[in-house]
């Protein structure tokens, strides 16, 4: 009898997840994109730097402005020296050149251009980026994002700029529901500016039905928002604070597997 008890305990031990099988990022969540229902979460309310996931809010406000006819996709935006010199991820804008709003939005969505985000923010706030950041935070409050604070339109590191995986998921869902046409921007494999091909920073496009949405990185870790479809079900997953790209991608894979499994 003791032999069978030990055998049963051993079998149960093997079946349980090991420490090595822990979720491979600091935080994550997957939700049904249609209903908004969370299907699985791991420390989804942990405050972390959003990095370039911040650009989803910048894109959101820009597309709001287009919808309100305050600016048009083919409007030319003059690139200031401060925008061109923003630093970090870039679409290689030059001071003084004029670029259409559409191309700047594509540069943000695909190449995660900090220069593009800064140029758009300055254009929409008449050169006062602080005013644009105020609008970002007002929009966050209107969406019910109580734990999200923006300090710039790019996601470059700034004290106090934090969010959570849950609130980034809520933001991304609201963005796509308000501007479904934005999906086409995020699904582009590459864009070209002045003859230079800029490839999508989201290397997961096409895997597991993934068709978007945005990557981000700071010293605090690797972040990503993905959208994916399979068999009529669409999911939105957020990973924050992964130690490297491999861990980030593993976390995405786990979230999507759990999400698509939960649809049954």
What pLDDT score was predicted for residue 128?
Answer: 83
Say whether 219 is catalytic.
no
Strand segments (E) across 129-209: 190-193, 196-199
Average pLDDT over residues 126-155: 95
Instruction: For 200-260, give the DSSP string.
Output: -S-TTTTGGGEEEEEEEEETTEEEEEEEEEETTEEEEEEEEEESSHHHHHHHHHHHHHHHH
Query: Of the listed 27, 52, 89, 163, which one is catalytic?
Result: 52
Say whether 214 is catalytic.
no
Cα→Cα distances 200→93, 119, 138, 216, 238, Å: 17, 20, 29, 12, 18
Choose among 226, 213, 230: nearest CA to 252: 226
pLDDT confidence tier of residue 11, bands split at 50, 70 and 90: very low
Query: Of the listed 27, 55, 163, 214, which one is catalytic?
Result: 55
pLDDT, tens only, 169-213: 999 999 999 999 999 999 999 999 999 999 999 999 999 999 999
Average pLDDT over residues 142-154: 98
Cα→Cα distances 91→83, 87, 118, Å: 11, 10, 12
Q: Which pTM value belongs to this model?
A: 0.91
Query: Of the listed 80, 89, 112, 129, which one is catalytic?
Result: 112
Residue 111's CB is within 10 A of a number of other CB atoms, namely 24
CATH superfamily for 25-262 is DD-peptidase/beta-lactamase superfamily (3.40.710.10)
Q: How far apart are CA 92 and CA 250, in angstroms?
A: 31
**Beta strand pairing status for 38-42 and 27-32?**
antiparallel
Domain boundaries, the chain: 25-262
Say whether 112 is catalytic.
yes
Q: How far apart are CA 239 and CA 154, in angstroms?
A: 18
What pLDDT score was predicted for residue 263?
Answer: 56
For 13, counting Cβ atoms within 10 Å of its Cβ (0-12 exposed, 13-18 middle, 19+ buried), the class is: exposed
């Amino acid at each position: 009898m003791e032999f069978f008890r030990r055998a049963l305990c051993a079998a149960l031990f093997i079946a349980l997840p090991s420490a090595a099988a822990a979720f491979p990022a600091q935080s994550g969540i997957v939700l049904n994109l249609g209903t908004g229902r969370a299907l699985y979460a791991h420390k989804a309310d942990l405050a972390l730097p959003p990095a370039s996931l911040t650009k989803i809010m910048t894109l959101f406000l820009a597309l709001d402005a287009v919808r309100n006819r305050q600016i048009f996709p083919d409007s030319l935006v003059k690139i200031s020296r401060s925008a061109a010199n923003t630093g970090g991820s870039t679409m290689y804008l030059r001071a003084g050149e004029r670029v259409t709003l559409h191309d700047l939005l594509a540069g943000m969505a695909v190449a995660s251009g900090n220069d593009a985000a800064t140029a758009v923010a300055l254009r929409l706030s008449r050169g006062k980026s602080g005013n644009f950041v105020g609008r970002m935070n007002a929009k966050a409050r209107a969406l019910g994002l109580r734990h999200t604070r923006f300090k710039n339109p790019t996601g470059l590191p700034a004290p106090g700029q934090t969010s959570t995986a849950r609130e980034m998921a809520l933001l991304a869902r609201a963005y796509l529901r308000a501007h479904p046409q934005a999906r086409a921007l995020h699904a582009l494999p590459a864009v070209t500016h002045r003859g230079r091909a800029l490839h999508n920073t989201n290397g997961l496009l096409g895997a597991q039905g993934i068709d978007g949405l945005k990557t981000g990185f700071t010293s605090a870790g690797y972040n990503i928002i993905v959208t994916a479809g399979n068999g009529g079900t669409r999911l939105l997953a957020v990973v924050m604070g992964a130690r490297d790209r491999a861990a980030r991608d593993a976390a995405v894979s786990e979230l999507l597997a759990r999400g698509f499994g939960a649809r049954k």
